[in-house]
Amino acid sequence: MVYLAAVTRLVATLWFLASATLGCGYKTVGYGAGFDGIRTVAIETPANETFFPGAEFVVADALRQEFLRRGAARLIEDPAAADLVVSGRVTRIRTSGRSLSSVTFTLEYQLEMVLDLEARRPDGPVWPIAADTLRAADLYLSSADVEATRKNRDEAMRRVASILAQRVHDSLFEAAFR
């Protein structure tokens, strides 16, 4: 009897979810055919105009990981053979104290990253990447240990780069269907 009640609840729940999903117009995003004829993408390592060495590699890695994760287009290394090339520069990384204490001075910092990226097709047209998607910030904890603070800052930089990579991918995907 308990088994029958559990199965009935499961079937009812699945029926509700299926009807709610189909009835509201939700659907899964299909990247199988690429987007707007773009099947291959090359990510060029951006120029680093900041005082943070290696920031360009963090950003390039985040962009590549995001395009690999989404699978909308195949990632290739040769920009000349790509249907779309993403390039640009890391224009600013700024850290500032956000929480202060009279005893330990700074408790946490904020890291803000600003990118200037463009995506272009081989035949010349540049795809727009919305400017508001190219700026993000995150907080990280301070420590009396300088290495711990540096490690926290580097992790915050990776998180911000990942957020920006997601936004860039979404912006390009939306631009393809305008």
**Predicted local distance difference test score (pLDDT) of residue 30:** 55
Does this model's pTM top 0.75? My answer is yes
CA 117 to mean position of chain CA atoms: 13
**Predicted local distance difference test score (pLDDT) of residue 62:** 98
Residue 67 near residue 172, CB atoms below 8 Å: no
5: number of Cβ within 10 Å? 9
**What's the CA gap between 126 and 134, in Å, rounded?**
16
Q: Residue-wise pLDDT tens for the chain (178 aa)?
A: 666 667 677 776 776 666 666 655 555 555 555 566 789 999 999 999 999 999 999 999 999 999 999 888 899 999 999 999 999 999 999 999 988 888 768 889 999 999 999 999 888 788 878 888 999 999 999 988 999 999 999 999 999 999 999 999 998 888 776 6
Domains recognised in the chain with CATH numbers: 36-176 (3.30.160.150)
**Predicted local distance difference test score (pLDDT) of residue 17:** 65
DSSP state of 177: T
Q: CA geometry: angle at 165 spanning 131 and 156, to 5°?
A: 100
**Predicted local distance difference test score (pLDDT) of residue 59:** 98
